[in-house]
Amino acid sequence: MPMPLWWGRLNKRVFNPRAVARGSWPVLTHVGRVSGATYRTPLDAHPVDGGYLFVLVYGSGTDWVRNILAAGEARLRVGGKEVALTAPRVVGREEAFRALPAGVRRPPRLLRITEFLRMDTIPLG
């Protein structure tokens, strides 16, 4: 696991609510797979051909990733707009790096991040 879980818990309870309230980060809205509650998670959202790519700093076992994989969809608020996303899948480092545009910084090797979440945008009607 790239980042320690205690840091993730701290982010979830302290920093994430502030980031959502400020509106300074893209926010992924998803539904809890057990509770059915709506959650908002601030994340780095990288646009890629046909969708978005998310760096899984804490790995694919986090609640938000498991919620999205179970639901098969989510909504992303980015740049003042809401985007519908579907077809979530965990992809490896090589596939993720190929999909990212050249100007986007890659996570440092020191973090040992090997998993990314890729989702497709739902075309508007």
* 99 SS3 class: helix
Model-level pTM? 0.79
* pLDDT tens-digit map of 78-108: 988 999 999 999 999 999 999 988 888 777 6
18-63 pLDDT, tens digit per residue, is: 555 565 678 999 999 999 999 988 888 999 999 999 999 888 998 9
- Looking at residue 100, the DSSP 8-state letter turns out to be S
As a whole number of angstroms, the distance between CA 97 and CA 86 comes to 20
**What is the per-residue DSSP string for 8-76?**
HHHIIIIIHHHHHHHT-S-EEEEE-TTT--EEEEE--EEEETTEEEEE-TT-TTSHHHHHHHHHSEEEE
